[in-house]
């Protein structure tokens, strides 16, 4: 066994840090830690990363991929999170990019991939519907073929950052008579300037407006914007699930949140001294700390296994336990801030910015165990695929 990065990996990591910590403006990284990044922050960051060849490293090499080792991919995801660098937009780099690269036409690749990598096109995800959440295959939005176009009717929801979307990848039903609900779905690319689209923002419990509903009324999509084959959309959507598992546990983010909280606790007063000396706080932090060590060790085992060409079935475990760990830390941060997190949307001078947003962040982070396959879905996957239950 060996608990050290090789000198090549250290060099690789330091090269990444050079870009992440020097090229990405500190203001952007700070706003990201406070959940206050803007559209421009995300665009600026991704373009800087792209200019260094670091926006789409896991794409095919001919479209800007890096062909990294699993260890290098792990270091990349980890360093982005530890440095509080806004992640390249997942809808672009982890979802539609790999789909088009794998299943798209040459024309689609040329049209979309470079612009997607550089965030010249902002993609939105059109998957979930009011009656199709965890049970995605039950979706009802239809795309009826009429000559050279598909006519889209229906509704999508939970569209994260859809207010900025230039294009949307949509999973819609093209064959309503297919024998199984997973059949008869197609993967379509929709220009959001097309007539017949209505957007309604959804305000979340923390006050953020990061998700949206979309309504489609006879929206016409040219047939050349079909990805792959008609009625094979489900297999492309499933391809996403097996794609890019690095960083799924957000261990690097948790490590950063832990370090920030440990430092802040020295300056947060309690009735008897500083929070950093409070036994109950220390016990909670110790629990967090050991959990993060176990998670990182698990991630290292997974990475090591894929270096040896073995697939690991534990991504459900990492997603579930990793997000729980980050949620737990956000709760500790809120408890540390206490009433200082209870005055929002004001110009008032607050104790410190991280405390001021702590309760809102805590509420927002509840999403982690719901999106991307809720923890209940992950337990089902573990039970079925690993335990055979």
Partner 1 sequence: MNLEFNEDQALLFETVDSAVGRGYAAGGRAEATGSELGWNEGVWRTLAEMGITGLTITGEHGGADAGPVEVYATLEALGKHAAAEPLLDGVFLPSWLITAVGTDEQAKQLLPALAEGTQTVAVAHAEPGRPWNATPSVTATRRADGSVTLAGVKAPVRHADQASSLLVTASDSDGTTGVYVVEAGAEGITRADGRSADWSRASQVTFVDTPATPLGTAGADVAAALAAAFARARVAVLAEAVGLMESALTLTVEYLKNRKQFGVPLSTFQALVHRAADLYAHVELARSMALWATATVEAADGGADVDLAAIADDAFVFVGDTATAVAEEAVQLHGGIGMTYEAEVAHQAARLTAITESFGGVAAARRRAVASESALRAPSALLNNSGAVTA
Element (H, E) at 331: helix 315-337
Q: Write the CB contacts of 121 (distance below 8 Å, at least 6 apart in sequence).
A: 92, 112, 115, 166, 167
> Which range, of 5-13, 100-108, 137-145, 157-165, touches partner 1 by CB under 8 A?
5-13
203 binds partner 1 (CB under 8 A): no
317 binds partner 1 (CB under 8 A): yes
> Which range, of 55-63, 77-85, 102-110, 147-155, touches partner 1 by CB under 8 A?
77-85
274 binds partner 1 (CB under 8 A): no
Q: How far is the CB of 287 from partner 1 (least distance, A)?
A: 8
32 binds partner 1 (CB under 8 A): yes
- In angstroms, what CA-CA distances link 377 with 135, 289, 371, 372, 373? 10, 26, 10, 9, 6
- Catalytically active residues are 244
Under 8 Å between Cβ of 251 and 78: yes
Q: How far apart are CA 154 and CA 157, in angstroms?
A: 10
Element (H, E) at 108: helix 106-117
Pick one of 19, 24, 33, 54: the residue that binds partner 1 (CB under 8 A): 33
Q: How far apart are CA 169 and CA 268, in angstroms?
A: 46
> Which range, of 178-186, 225-233, 234-242, 303-311, touches partner 1 by CB under 8 A?
303-311
Nearer to partner 1, 116 or 298 (CB): 298
Q: How far is the CB of 25 from partner 1 (least distance, A)?
A: 13
71 binds partner 1 (CB under 8 A): yes
Q: Give the total of residues touching partner 1 (CB under 8 A).
A: 63
Pick one of 41, 230, 244, 296: the residue that binds partner 1 (CB under 8 A): 296
Q: How far apart are CA 139 and CA 130, in angstroms?
A: 9
> Which range, of 76-84, 140-148, 206-214, 226-234, touches partner 1 by CB under 8 A?
76-84
Under 8 Å between Cβ of 228 and 187: yes
Q: Write the CB contacts of 234 (distance below 8 Å, at least 6 apart in sequence).
A: 137, 171, 182, 183, 185
Q: How far is the CB of 55 from partner 1 (least distance, A)?
A: 20
Pick one of 45, 155, 160, 298: the residue that binds partner 1 (CB under 8 A): 298
- In angstroms, what CA-CA distances link 361 with 204, 279, 297, 332, 342? 11, 25, 27, 11, 12
84 binds partner 1 (CB under 8 A): yes
Pairing state between β 167-173 and 123-126? parallel
Q: Which of 281, 277, 172, 308 is nearest to 232 (CA)?
A: 172
Q: How far is the CB of 272 from partner 1 (least distance, A)?
A: 15
52 binds partner 1 (CB under 8 A): no
Catalog residues that contact partner 1 under the rule CB under 8 A: 1-6, 9-10, 13, 17, 21, 29-30, 32-33, 71, 79, 82-84, 255-256, 258-260, 262, 265, 276, 279, 282-283, 285-286, 289-298, 300-301, 303-305, 308, 314, 317, 320-321, 376, 378-380, 382-383, 386-389
């Amino acid at each position: 066994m060996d608990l050290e990065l090789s000198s090549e990996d250290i060099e690789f990591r330091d090269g990444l840090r050079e870009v992440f910590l020097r090229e990405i403006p500190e203001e952007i990284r700070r706003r990201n830690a406070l959940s206050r990044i803007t559209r421009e922050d995300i665009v600026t960051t991704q373009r800087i990363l792209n200019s260094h060849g670091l926006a789409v490293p896991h794409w095919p090499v001919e479209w800007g991929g890096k062909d990294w080792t699993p260890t290098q991919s792990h270091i990349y995801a980890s360093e982005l999170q530890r440095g509080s660098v806004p992640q390249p937009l997942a809808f672009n780099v982890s979802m539609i990019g790999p789909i088009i690269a794998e299943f798209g036409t040459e024309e689609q690749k040329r049209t979309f991939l470079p612009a997607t990598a550089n965030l010249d096109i902002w993609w939105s995800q059109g998957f979930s519907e009011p009656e199709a959440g965890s049970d995605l295959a039950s979706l009802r939005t239809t795309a009826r073929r009429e000559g050279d176009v598909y006519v889209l009717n229906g509704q999508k929801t939970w569209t994260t950052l859809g207010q900025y979307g230039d294009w949307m990848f949509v999973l819609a039903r093209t064959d309503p008579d297919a024998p199984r609900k997973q059949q008869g779905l197609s993967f379509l690319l929709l220009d959001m300037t097309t007539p017949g689209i209505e957007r309604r923002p959804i305000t979340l419990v923390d006050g953020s407006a990061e998700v949206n509903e979309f309504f489609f009324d006879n929206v016409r999509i040219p047939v050349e914007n079909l990805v792959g084959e008609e009625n094979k959309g489900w297999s492309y959507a499933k391809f996403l699930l097996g794609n890019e598992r690095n960083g799924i546990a957000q261990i690097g983010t948790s490590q950063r949140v832990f370090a920030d909280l440990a430092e802040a606790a020295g300056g947060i007063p309690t009735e008897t001294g500083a929070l950093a000396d409070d036994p109950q706080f220390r016990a909670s932090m110790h629990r967090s700390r050991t959990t993060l060590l176990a998670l990182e060790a698990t991630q290292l085992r997974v990475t090591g296994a894929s270096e040896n060409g073995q697939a690991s079935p534990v991504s459900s475990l990492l997603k579930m336990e990793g997000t729980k760990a980050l949620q737990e830390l956000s709760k500790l941060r809120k408890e540390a801030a206490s009433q200082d997190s209870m005055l929002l949307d004001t110009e008032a001078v607050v104790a410190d910015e991280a405390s001021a947003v702590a309760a809102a962040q805590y509420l927002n982070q509840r999403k982690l165990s719901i999106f991307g396959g809720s923890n209940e879905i992950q337990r089902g996957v573990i039970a079925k695929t690993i335990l055979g239950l």
